[in-house]
Amino acid sequence: MRIAITVPLFPPKWLAGTEIATYNIAKHLARRGHEVHVITSLDEGLPKESIEEGFYVHRIFWRKIRFVGVISFWMKIFWCLKRINPDIVHVQSVGIGIPAFLSKKLLKKPYIVWGRGSEIYISWRFNKQILKLVLKNADIVIALTEHMKREIKKICNREVFVIPNGIDLEKFSNLSKKNIRKRLKIKEDAKIITFVGTLCLVKGVRYLIKAMKIIKQLYPNTRLVLVGDGKEKKKLEKVVVELVLEGCVRFIGKVPNGEIPEYMVVSDVFVLPSLSEGFPNVVLEAMASELPIVATNVGGLPEIIKDGVNGFLVEPKDPEQIAEKVLLLLEDDQLRDKLSRNNRKEVKRYNLGSVVERLEEIYQSCL
């Protein structure tokens, strides 16, 4: 089957949830014998055409001019779809669905849309009209969670399938916490709290830093490791200075996705203090690393994190609650071990191979 996948951004420059999920899907579809074409925006220093992990990547220049730049980008994607002539078009993120809509009307190509989160939860008036058009005309619509499904049905009342993100569990096997800590010069008795993600306002990292002020008073040897980069970094660094936490908060910066398992494995607790979420890949990575999780009770997170079973849910913007649950885990080794074991079992439900098989079934149903 010849499959075209459209996605606004793509690795190696962009490493958020949608980008990583798209890369993994394309790679596994190619391994299963499909001809896969990813169509995305062009980043400086990268070729317009390339082959990666057995699939084709087409990068298109996107001039950042409001309306005109977006429409030009959409039309270039449409012409690329016409040239590729796929059997089906897979849209990763509803907001980039107009080229697929045009290919259906003009080229008679079926398309599916997989909602990824931000475009569903944070949409403005013009964008909402586009969402309705794309969703209404799609052959199949997929949501990551039941919560997202309900939100999509508010925009367009139609049938919506639910398929979660998947994870490649092999990347998290045979990793030694002791050896990696030694290499990263982390003391064996240090307690490590980790966040992985983009340093942007919606991730709520400032509330985690504020929680560290409380945690540090009871556990001075605790360290907060922030893996990722973003627009909020300088502001967050100022918060660290204001709270006199320079010695216990470490900004790692952006790292290749292949190195994420190492930062997870050396940790004791993973925290995701987001103000809004769809289905973050990083939670699956924490589960695969057998980490207990503290996350906010927003979006699809309650469908992944069962409070008191494989982690704890807290209210957004609440440093005191974050600190309370983290301290509970640091103080109780048995509780931490129980939640870790439960995550080891639970994450098997999200094996990437099973997710891709389900996706293939959906493709076939369209054809």
Note the pLDDT tens digit of each residue in 15-33. 888 898 999 999 999 999 9
- Radius of gyration of the chain measured on its C-alpha atoms: 21
Shared-domain flag, residues 130 and 223: no
340 lies in the same domain as 355: no
Q: What is the CATH number of the domain that holds 362?
A: 3.40.50.2000
Measured in degrees and rounded to the nearest 5, phi and psi for residue 124 equal -105, 175
Burial 229-245 (b: 16+ CB within 10 A, else e): beebbeebbebbeeeeb
- pTM, 2 dp: 0.86
Is residue 190 located within the same domain as residue 306? Answer: yes
Question: Does residue 357 share a domain with residue 284?
Answer: no
Banded pLDDT at 289 (limits 50, 70, 90)? very high
Q: 138 with 271, same domain?
A: no
Q: Determine the pLDDT at residue 125.
A: 54
Name the percent of the chain lying above pLDDT 90.
Answer: 71
Residues 6+ apart with CB under 8 A from 298: 274, 275, 276, 277, 316
Q: CA 286, CA 204: separation in Å to the nearest integer? A: 18
Count of domains for the chain? 2
**Domain of 44, in residue numbers:** 2-166+351-366
Same structural domain, 182 and 156:
no
Question: What is residue 123's predicted lDDT score, i.e. its pLDDT?
Answer: 57
Q: Residue 216 and residue 222: Cα distance in Å, rounded?
A: 6
In terms of domains, do 83 and 93 share one?
A: yes
Model pLDDT, residue 82: 97
105 and 234 both lie in a single domain: no
- 315 plus 254 within the same structural domain: yes
Q: How far is CA 166 from CA 170, 197, 350, in A?
A: 12, 17, 5
What is the tens place of the pLDDT at every residue in 147-162? 889 989 988 899 999 9
Distances (CA, A) of 128 to 101, 133, 143, 146, 336: 15, 9, 17, 20, 43
pLDDT tens string 49-82 = 999 999 999 999 988 777 788 889 999 999 999 9
* Cα dihedral sign, 127-128-132-133: negative
Band of residue 256 on the pLDDT scale cut at 50, 70, 90: confident
Q: Give the mean model confidence (pLDDT) for residues 167-171.
A: 85
Per-residue pLDDT, 258:
84
- Residue 316 pLDDT: 96
Q: What is the DSSP string of 184-238?
A: TT--TT-EEEEEES--SGGGTHHHHHHHHHHHHHH-TTEEEEEEB--TTHHHHHH
What mean pLDDT is reported for the chain?
91
Please give the average per-residue pLDDT across 252-269, as a whole number.
89
Does 334 share its domain with 278? yes
